[in-house]
């Protein structure tokens, strides 16, 4: 196990340095503990099909951290990770943004239970994992229009994802949405959703994840106006009838 740990931390360290991100030995230790607990719990809960050490480093940890260089890190921010799953990217980002508040949202109770156990195990403060649907929580006062940043990875096509994400943002807030090479078609199909929800695509960033050959893009969406109260629609409707 000690040999595996050394190899894991070296590969992780090399990848983080290639991303040109500052890190501490404590953060590397936390990611090792994260990996160990993730592998252990995955046997019970099937959190992800990606479990081999190299793949977890590249496809989960580095892929989550790659957006750090794109962020305005001034002041403390309030984050929401929609469809957090096993904590990618929200839990990983929290380790590197300890002063920010993170809310991890997932519709799977077993994944939320894993996230709460993990945050306790890692001794994190200012992080909360919630079981629920974005369509329901975005209609609650303390959640709606209250976040500086929303992030999401591998949840839904852009026109659907916008209806989940934009209502949570403050005006001027940003959504960081991970997408693959089909992003142009998704943006084209999401024009009506952007207009209806009061948002616009501010930037498209090509991401370079060390060791990952797959094309990765970050769609940065800015909330420019108040979202009409009727959005998001009832749970399940955005997916069945996208804007």
Backbone angles phi, psi at 183, to 5 degrees: -60, -35
Strand residue runs (E) in the chain: 78-82, 101-106, 127-131, 147-153, 169-179, 199-207, 216-223
Return the H-helix or E-strand segment holding 30: helix 25-45
Tell me if 8 is assigned to a ligand binding site.
Answer: no
Pairing of strands 216-223, 169-179: antiparallel
Q: What whole-number distance in Å separates Cα of residue 217 and Cα of residue 182?
A: 9
Reading across the β-sheet that carries 199-207, which strands appear in turn? 127-131, 101-106, 78-82, 147-153, 169-179, 216-223, 199-207
Backbone angles phi, psi at 220, to 5 degrees: -100, 115
Tell me if 134 is assigned to a ligand binding site.
Answer: yes
Q: What whole-number distance in Å separates Cα of residue 74 and Cα of residue 64?
A: 20
Tell me if 234 is assigned to a ligand binding site.
Answer: no
Tell me if 193 is assigned to a ligand binding site.
Answer: no
Q: Which residues contact 119 (CB under 8 A, 6 or more apart)?
A: 91, 94, 127, 129
Tell me if 107 is assigned to a ligand binding site.
Answer: yes
Tell me if 108 is assigned to a ligand binding site.
Answer: yes
217 touches 206 (CB < 8 A)? yes
Annotated binding site for S-adenosyl-L-methionine: 83, 88, 106-108, 134-135, 153
Extract the annotated binding site.
83, 88, 106-108, 134-135, 153
């Amino acid at each position: 196990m000690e040999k595996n740990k050394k190899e894991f931390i070296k590969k992780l360290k090399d990848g983080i340095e290639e991303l040109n991100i500052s890190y501490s030995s404590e953060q590397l230790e936390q990611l090792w503990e994260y990996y160990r607990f993730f592998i252990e719990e995955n046997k019970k809960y099937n959190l992800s099909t990606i479990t081999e050490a190299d793949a977890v480093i590249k496809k989960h940890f580095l892929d989550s951290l790659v957006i750090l260089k794109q962020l305005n890190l001034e002041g403390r921010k309030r984050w929401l990770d929609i469809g957090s799953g096993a904590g990618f990217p929200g839990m990983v980002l929290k380790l590197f943004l300890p002063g920010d508040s993170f809310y991890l949202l997932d519709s799977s109770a077993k994944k939320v239970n894993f996230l709460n156990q993990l945050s306790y195990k890692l001794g994190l403060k200012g992080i909360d994992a919630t079981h629920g649907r974005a369509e329901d929580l975005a209609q609650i006062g303390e959640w709606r229009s209250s976040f500086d940043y929303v992030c999401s990875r591998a949840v839904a096509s852009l026109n659907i994802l916008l209806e989940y994400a934009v209502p949570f943002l403050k005006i001027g807030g940003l959504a960081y949405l991970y997408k693959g090479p089909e992003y142009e078609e998704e943006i084209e199909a999401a024009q009506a959703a952007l207009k209806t929800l009061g948002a616009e695509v501010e930037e498209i960033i090509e991401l370079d994840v060390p060791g990952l050959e797959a094309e990765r893009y970050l769609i940065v969406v800015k909330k420019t106006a108040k979202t009409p109260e009727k959005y998001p629609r009832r749970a399940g409707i955005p997916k069945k009838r996208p804007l």
